[in-house]
Structure 1
Amino acid sequence: MKSEGAKRGLNKGLGIADFLLRLGAIITALAAAATMGTSDETLPFFTQFFQFEAGYDDLPTFIFFVIAMALVGGYLVLSLPFSVVTIFRPYAVAPRLLIFILDTVALTLTTAAGGAAAAVVYLAHNGNSSTNWLPICQQFGDFCQNVSGAVVASFVTVVVFMMLILLSGFALKRR
C-alpha cells in the first residue's frame, strides 16, 4: 500500500508535467499562428506593375486557422495559473476538471483548424485535375513551405493536447 506522501508526490509530478506540456503547446500553437499569419509571397510577372501574390488572407480556411490557433494559444496562456494550482494543490479536483473540459474544447478547435488547413495545403501541393485546379507550390515555394510548417505545428499541438487530456484524466481517476 502506497503511503500518502508517495501519492502526493505522484500527483505533484503530474501537475508539473501538465505545466511543462502547456508551455510546449503554447510555443507550437503560437508558432503555427505566426507562421501562417506571416506567410505571403509575391512573384513578378513581366513587369513590376503586374504581379501574382499568395497570402494566407486569400483563403478563408487559412484565416480561420490563424484565428483558431491564436485563440488556442491565448487559452493555453490563461490556463497556466490553473496548471500551477494543480502543482501546489494536487488533490484539488475543480481546477483539474475545468482544464480537462476546456482542453477537450481546445483540442477540437485545433484539430478542426489543422485538418481544414491540411486539405488546402494538399490542394496547393497537388492540385485537383477534376476541377482544373493547378498546384501552386511550384511557383510559390516559400509560401507553401510556410503554410505546410504551420499545419505540422498545429498537429504537434494536437498531440500535446491529447497527452494533456490523458494526463488530466489519469489525475482525476486517482481521486
Structure 2
Amino acid sequence: MKTGESEATTIVVGEATTVDTKGKAPAAAPVVATTKATKSVKSNKYTKGGWKKGIAVFDFLIRLVAIAATLTGAIAMATANQTLPFFTNSFQFRATFSDFPPFTFFVVANAVATGYLVLSLPFSIVTIVRANAAGPRLLLLILDTTMVAITSASGAAAAAIVYIAHDGNPNANWLPICRQFNSFCDQTSGAVVASFVAAVIFMLLVAMSALALRKH
C-alpha cells in the first residue's frame, strides 16, 4: 500500500453487487424491483376479491327473487279452492289442495324453502363483506343443493296431478276435472310454475357457490 493513495472498499448488495464508496451511494435498483412486485401481487389480490364480491352481491339479489317464487307457489297452492255452483242434497262438488297429498307436500316443501331462503340472507351478506370466506359459501352450497332436491321433487309431484287434472287418463277412466274446476286448475298450475322457477334459481345458486369455491 502506497502513502497518499486512498483505498476503495466494496459493499456486497444482493448478488455480487459492488459499489465504490468514493462519494457514491449504494444502488437502489433491487429495492425498486421488490416494490413493483409487491404492488403487482396486491393488485391481483384485489382483482380476485372484487370478482368474488360481485358474485356474492348477485347471489343475494337472486335469493330475494327465489323467496318471492317459493312464497308465491306456497300461497297459491294453499289457497286453491273452488266450489261448483251446482250441488245436490247429498253431494257438494268442491276441490281443495288438501284433497291431493302431493299438493300438501308441495305447500310444505315450498314453505320450508321460503324459510330457509330468509335465514340464508345473513350468510349471503357475510360473503359480500368477506369475499374470500370459504365457510359460509360451503354451507350455502350444501343447503342450496338440498333445496334443489326438495323443490324439484315437490314440483314434479304436483305437476303430475295437474297434468291428470287437465287431461285425465282414459286407460284408467280418470276424467279431467279442469273442465269444471278451471279456476282451481289455473291456480295450481301457476303454483307449480313458480316452484320450478325457484328450483332453477337454486341450481344457479349452487353453480355460483361452486365456482367461487373453485377460484378460492
CA contact (8 A) 1:44 1:50 kept: no
In structure 1, what is the equivalent of residue 202 of structure 2? 161
Q: Residue 46 of structure 1: CA displacement?
A: 4.6
In structure 1, what is the equivalent of residue 125 of structure 2? 84
Structure (1 or 2) with the larger CA radius of gyration:
2
Name the SS for the 1:133 alignment partner.
Answer: coil
**Which one has a larger percent helix, Structure 1 or Structure 2?**
1
Please show how residues 127-138 of structure 1 align to structure 2 within 5 Å: 127-138=168-179
Alpha-carbon distance in 1 for matches of 2:212, 2:52: 7
In structure 2, what is the equivalent of residue 40 of structure 1? 81
Q: Stretches of 4+ moved more than 6 A in 1?
A: none
Q: Structure 2 residue aligned with 1:59, among 90, 100, 104?
A: 100
Report the CA distance shift for 1:132/1:48 in structure 2 as closer, same or farther (over 3 A): same
In structure 1, what is the equivalent of residue 48 of structure 2? 7
Q: Residue 50 of structure 1: CA displacement?
A: 4.2
Alpha-carbon distance in 1 for matches of 2:204, 2:55: 11
* Identity percentage of aligned residues: 54
Q: Structure 2 residue aligned with 1:106, among 139, 144, 147?
A: 147
Report the CA distance shift for 1:112/1:46 in structure 2 as closer, same or farther (over 3 A): closer
One-letter amino acid of the structure 1 residue matched with residue 81 of structure 2 = D
Q: Residue 45 of structure 1: CA displacement?
A: 2.2
Q: Using structure 2 for the length normalisation, give the TM-score.
A: 0.78
Name the SS for the 1:90 alignment partner.
Answer: coil
Aligned residue pairs total: 175
- 1:17 equivalent to 2:58? Answer yes
- 1:141 equivalent to 2:212? Answer no
Q: Residue 73 of structure 1: CA displacement?
A: 0.6
One-letter amino acid of the structure 2 residue matched with residue 111 of structure 1 = S
In structure 2, what is the equivalent of residue 27 of structure 1? 68
Alpha-carbon distance in 2 for matches of 1:154, 1:18: 19
Alpha-carbon distance in 1 for matches of 2:88, 2:181: 18
